[in-house]
Amino acid sequence: MNNKIPENIKEKLINIPRKTGIYLFRDASKNILYIGKAKTLRNRVRSYFQGSTPKFIKTHVLVKKIKDFEYIVTDTEKEALILEANLVKLYRPRYNVNLKDDKSYPYVKITSEDFPQVYHTRKKLNDGSIYFGPYTEAKVMRSLLWTLRKIFPVRSCQYKLTPETIEKRKVKLCLDYHIKRCGGPCEGLVSKEEYNEMVSQIRDFLRGHTKNLISILTRKMEDAACKQRFEVAAVYRDRLREIDNFNARQKVVDLKPIDRDIIAVAVEDNVACGVLFQEREGKIIGRRHHSLDGVGGKTKEEILQSFIMQVYLNAEYIPPEIIISHEVEDRQSICEWLSELRSGTVKILVPRKGEKAKLTQMCVNNAELLLKELLLQKRQKKDYVVYSVQALQKDLNLDALPLTIEAFDISNVHGKDAVASMVSFHNGIPQKNAYRIFKIKSKDSPDDFAMIAEAVERRYKRLKTENAEMPALILIDGGKGQLSAAVDSLKKLDLAAIPVIGLAKRLDEVFVPGLSEPQNIPRTSAGLKLLQRIRDEAHRFALMHHRKQRKKRTITSELDSVPGIATERRKALLKYFGSLTQIRNAAPETIANVKGVSKDLAQKIYDHLHFH
């Protein structure tokens, strides 16, 4: 066990039980840093303080800040799961995955009184009211409320309607009553029972359950018509039309009247976005999305599980089926917990094929698009640095953030048509206007070391001459040999202070000057993934230009061997036909159409390309 652990923690680690529960890590100011759950508390908590370096940098930083911890024992894993979710929502620890604070998102509120009000609010209070939401898109919520008010004549006033108030007629009828947008409960024109039956229908409507609502309203319309109460029947008819119009705007994804939620997350850098599609009676009726904090060092499965727990912690309605994009560790315990909340069985599925898999992919695509929007907003901030760049600085122990990284790669076939590529990334984004290609001049035999040395020297000799800004980090595609060649070129130019590393292809090992062994960077590190992405881009760019160079040489050499073809005629032929293949496929008469090419020369070209 690590000797640097505070004595109070060492004593607690000795006595921690081998039971299921949750644990809370605190810093020197007693603030909660992290809340976790464990099947065996003793094993999980002690694992943080073992001698080996933690797998993720974020975990390493967390452990250094821990000055105390406490734990709570639970009877089952399910209890631990629920307790963890509740405490994370309450305390929002820095190192947990947290939904971005949704207190600014609107809800639809149905108040708890004799004649309930229905309106939108951004404050969710523990006042006995029923809340639907949060709606992450306010426009959708407003459209829903507008439709609801067209269908249901619910009161819009905020008066407290008690039997005494109604009896004494303290509140007068308003305009809503006269335009048939309210039934007039303020003057007793609607009974409490009738009004609350309508509120029950509103709840079904907000949950997306319109099939049963349509049946009730149809029955009432027919009953009113049979009794020749045609005005009442017309009211129900108009409500039914509005519900039909509302349903027609929903995307039908299943012909069966199924209730389900589809959930997916997308992750990039230290940011994640979770998306939930609500399918009710076979129709998609809404989408919720949340950005998530504290995802660095977490797997997609862990992030998804945290998202599920926080979304359903205070949910007004839980469907019997939930489809998720990835497997989660505690699926069975979550199913049991949700089944208790629903008072009925809840299944969580991870489909791999079929229609449900297509629904999941649709949800994943939405999560990825929303995440791109979120990252774009973040990157537009002047001082924003992507997480992968910050992680790379820690991985390589660099003094400064490697905001600008330039990478080199070589492409050739046995030394022929050799080119070196140089790609530039700033803050994790490719800067394609800064890309460069170097045609190798010093070697026509296979010698990657000399080619790298030439490209590096040419690049930074020019930057030095122009007094241009140097990169924060240079990446060489290759191992120790290529890295040494690059370092020698930088020393020649008195630029040895620029950090330079090599990334070997075979095992993605990172080499630094002066050390024979590769650096120990976790394969899951965002910093290493950034290096791999930059290396792959340098490789792609080099290969593309090498192929162009080889193709050009091949065309040029074939045409040069035709008697009577000089440089100007060769250019004219290639400009006219576009490629050697097109020239080869052309008839002598067509070749003769090129300016400067006679019929005799055209025949010679045709014969040479076909019979030599």
- 281 within a domain of the structure (yes/no): yes
Q: pLDDT, tens digit, for every residue of 314-344?
A: 788 899 999 999 899 889 999 999 999 899 9
Using alpha carbons, select from 535, 536, 531 the residue that is nearest to residue 519: 531
Does residue 436 lie in a domain region? Answer: yes
Query: Are 361 and 471 found together in one domain?
Result: no
Task: Give me the pLDDT at residue 350, please.
Answer: 92
Evaluate if residue 54 carries a pLDDT over 60. Answer: no
Query: Per residue in 430-444, is it b (16+ CB within 10 Å) or e — as a string?
Result: eeeeebbbbebeebe
Using the 8-state DSSP alphabet, how is residue 101 labeled? P
What pTM did the predictor assign? 0.55
Which residues are registered as beta bridge partners of 404?
A: 426
Which of 133-147, 222-236, 507-521 bottoms out in mean pLDDT, i.e. has the lowest? 133-147
Do 316 and 132 meet the contact criterion of CB atoms below 8 Å apart?
yes
Give the domain extent around 446: 389-549
Residue 593 sits in a domain whose CATH number is 1.10.150.20
Confidence of residue 255 (pLDDT cuts 50, 70, 90): low
Per DSSP, the residues of 463-516 read HHHTTPPPPSEEEEESSHHHHHHHHHHHHHTT-TTS-EEEE-TTT--EE-TT-S
CA distances (Å), origin 296, targets 41, 96, 571:
23, 9, 56
Of 335, 350, 379, the residue at which a domain comes to its end is 379
- pLDDT tens per residue across span 278-303: 888 777 777 788 888 777 778 889 89
Q: Kindly list the distances between the CA atom of residue 134 and the CA atoms of 84, 109, 165, 325, in Å, as whole numbers in the listed order.
A: 22, 10, 33, 22
469 within domain boundaries: yes
Tell me: do 454 and 594 sit in the same domain. Answer: no
Question: According to the model, what pLDDT value does residue 532 have?
Answer: 92
Tell me whether residue 154 is in a domain.
Answer: yes
Looking at residues 378-400, what average pLDDT do you find? 80
The structural domain count of the chain equals 5
Q: Confirm whether 503 is domain-assigned.
A: yes
We report the CATH number of the domain holding residue 288 as: 3.30.420
Where residue 30 sits, what CATH number does that domain have? 3.40.1440.10
Q: Tell me: do 149 and 237 sit in the same domain.
A: yes
pLDDT of residue 500: 94
Last-in-domain residue among 96, 130, 164: 96
Q: What pLDDT is recorded for position 415?
A: 60
Q: Is residue 1 part of a domain?
A: no
Contacts of 609 (CB under 8 A, 6+ apart): 558, 562, 580, 583, 584
Q: What is the pLDDT of residues 520-560, one digit of tens each?
A: 788 778 888 899 999 999 999 988 887 877 766 655 556 66
Nearest-angstrom CA–CA distance, 207 and 342? 14
The pLDDT of residue 224 is: 81
Q: What is the pLDDT of residue 289?
A: 84
pLDDT in tens, 96-115: 887 765 556 788 899 988 89
- Work out the percent of the chain whose per-residue pLDDT is above 70: 91
Q: Tell me the average pLDDT across 301-307.
A: 90
Which phi and psi angles does 397 have, rounded to 5°? 55, 45
**How many CB atoms are located within 10 Å of the residue 148 CB?**
17
393 and 541 housed in the same domain? yes
- Rounded to whole angstroms, the Cα distance separating 81 from 61 reads 25
Same domain, 536 and 569: no
576: pLDDT strictly greater than 70:
yes
| Distances 255 to 126, 259, 355, 426 between C-alpha atoms, Å | 38, 12, 12, 49
Same domain? 443 vs 510: yes
| pLDDT (average), residues 258-278 | 87
Report yes or no on 312 lying in a domain.
no
In terms of domains, do 584 and 466 share one? Answer: no
Res 562 pLDDT > 90? no
Query: Do 123 and 152 reside in the same domain of the chain?
Result: yes
Whether the bond between 134 and the residue before it is cis, its omega within 30 degrees of 0, is: yes
Last residue of a domain, one of 72, 96, 120: 96
143 and 124 belong to one structural domain: yes
Q: Chain-wide mean pLDDT for the chain?
A: 83
If asked whether residues 77 and 201 sit together in one domain, one would say: no
User: Is residue 282 domain-shared with residue 424, that is, in the same domain?
Assistant: no
Is residue 543 helix, strand or coil?
helix
Q: Which residue has better confidence, 395 or 245?
A: 395
Give the CATH number for residue 540: 3.30.420.340
- The H or E element containing residue 293 is strand 283-293
User: Domain check: are 134 and 226 in the same one?
Assistant: yes
* pLDDT band with cut points at 50, 70 and 90 for residue 447: confident
Q: What is the pLDDT of residue 259?
A: 86
Detail the DSSP E strand segments found in 175-257. 251-252
Q: How far apart are CA 422 and CA 434, in angstroms?
A: 8
Residue 16 placed within a domain: yes
